[in-house]
Structures are given as C-alpha cells and as structure tokens.
Amino acid sequence: MLSNEQEEIIRKIEELQLATEKAFIDKYPTIFRDLYADVLSVTSDVRFAASADSRAKQLYELMKIKKRIAAIVTENKEFQNAVKEVTDSFIEVRNLTDDYFRTIIDGYKPNQELYKAILKANVDATKDALLGAGIQEQFAAPITNLLRSTLTRKSTKEPFDVALRKLIEGFGEQKPVLEAALQRNARDGIQFFNANYLEVVSADLNISYYIYSGTVIGDSRSFCAARAGKIFKKSTVQGWAKLDWTGKIAGTTAETIFTFRGGWNCRHQLWPSTKAAFTIQEKRNKPE
C-alpha cells in the first residue's frame, strides 16, 4: 500500500532509471562503430600458423593483448562521458529517494556524510563495472580466450576473424558481447545504487517494514511476481535469503538481500513502509 505521493516519487525514479539506461545504450552504435576494426588492429601482430615456439611466446603475451583490448573501450572519451551521465543520474535518484523518506519519517533530514559515502561507493562500483574489471572480464576475456584457443589449435587467421566478428557484432539472436555486457552492467549499477541507498538509510532509521515495489512484466521472476505490491516485516525479508530461485545472486544473505533483491536485472525495490500500513494489509487479507 503506497500513498499517491509515494507512487508518484517511485514512478519518477523508475522513469529516470529507464531513460538513463536507454540513453546510455543508444549511444553504443555511434561510440563503438569501429570496434571490430579496432580489435583487429590490436590482434594484427598475432601469427596464428607460426611455429610451436613462436605460438608459445604469443600465448605468454595474451595478458598484454587483453589489456589493450579493454583499453579500446575504457579509454574512449565518448564512452567515459556516457558512463558519467549514468553515475550523475544517481544524484537525482538520491534526492527523490530522500523525498520518499520524508513521507515515512516526519522531519527526516539526510545524514549528509553517510549518504555521500554511499553515493561515492556506488559510483566507484559502477565505474569499475563499466570502465574497469567488468569490461576486462566480460569483453576482453572472451576475445583473448578465442585467441588462446586459435593459437593452441594452430588454426589460421580467417576462422579467428569470423569468430571475432560474431563476438563483436553479434549473430542470430545473440547480441554483441560488449553491448550485452554494458547494458547489463549499467542496469545493475543503476538498480544497485537505488537499493543500497534505501538499505543504508532504512537501517539508519530503524525501518522495520518494507513494500516490495516494481512493475511485473512478462519475464519477471516468479520470486518477484509473488511479492510485488506486498508489505513485509524486515525479519521476513531477511528470511528470503535462505530460499533458492532462478537468478539469485551468489552471496545473497540476510544482510545483502535488501540490495540484491530478486537477483541480476531485478527492477523491484524494497521501499520503507510502516506498521500501520502492514496492519491494514493483514486485516484485508484475513479471512472473514
């Protein structure tokens, strides 16, 4: 049970998050229009059909190549600006979330130092996913693994180029590997910040009741669909961590459930509620 004011705040946040995600991924075709050629350039010195000794030496050089491939993405100025637009959106989400807390707690005032720390930690984590280790493992690693496999099998350059194009440009229903990674990481970064901010502020305010809010769509997990729109005690939410469901994030505990929620790509959030709202819900659901 949300008030009209609370529903409006959540609606604004969800619209901002979707618009931020869309604006970010819509830039992909322009920013990375030469990605295939750029990666080919980095791998141009690899000699696939060379002698065993030469191929062995090249295998040792793969870590350097991996870093150079990742740098194509992470050192791109247009892309860095696009990532900044994503993390800048966190400030508006924080401000709107503070407005929500004011509907729950009379006289609510943000703890500026604590909340600045939350913002910085999430900005840093999102940057790492989009400009650091995330890109190393989700984009550069598949390419260097393909290189390793090609060198080990003493294959030629042509099959590598074909497989590389499929990785970078996608084929059939498979998205380009970088585009898929960026969309996933941006979405999770946006949602994790919202969830983490809610979690830390709620703990600071000793919130004991939460409403599981978010739109149920066609591919919503049954875990989320069963809880959407309902109010729960904090202890009940903590107990969910013991359950198993598709998409659950490894490391989901009674503490992290408030940030991890339904798992990867989850768009639901645990918004603070009140005992009074919970009591009304229970009375309505009680059999006559």
Q: What is the pTM for the complete model shown?
A: 0.88
Mean pLDDT of the chain: 91
Of 268, 269, 271, residue with least CA distance to 216: 268
Contact call for residues 221 and 247 (beta carbons, < 8 A): yes
Same domain, 91 and 116: yes
Same domain, 127 and 89: yes
Same domain, 26 and 106: yes
The boundaries of the domain holding residue 213 are: 207-288
Comparing 42-46, 76-80, 264-268, the range with the smallest average pLDDT is 42-46
SS3 120: helix
What's the token pair of residue 181? 């990674």
What's the token pair of residue 127? 């940057």
Contact call for residues 58 and 47 (beta carbons, < 8 A): yes
Same domain, 39 and 155: yes
Same domain, 120 and 198: yes
Bridge partners for 210 per DSSP = 232, 272
Same domain, 52 and 126: yes
For residue range 18-60, list pLDDT tens digits in order: 999 999 999 999 999 999 999 999 988 777 766 767 767 777 7
Same domain, 47 and 62: yes
Instruction: Count the domains in the chain.
Output: 2
Q: What is the pLDDT of residue 56?
A: 72
Same domain, 20 and 131: yes
How many angstroms from the chain centroid is the CA of residue 179?
A: 13
Same domain, 145 and 219: no
Handedness of CA 79, 81, 84, 85 (dihedral sign): negative
Same domain, 52 and 173: yes
Q: What are phi and psi of 95, to 5 degrees?
A: -65, -45
Give the model's confidence band at 150: pLDDT under 50 very low, under 70 low, under 90 confident, else very high: confident
Handedness of CA 114, 120, 124, 127 (dihedral sign): positive
Same domain, 196 and 250: no
Mean pLDDT of the region 86-104: 96
Same domain, 219 and 255: yes
Of 250, 82, 73, residue with least CA distance to 177: 73
SS3 96: helix
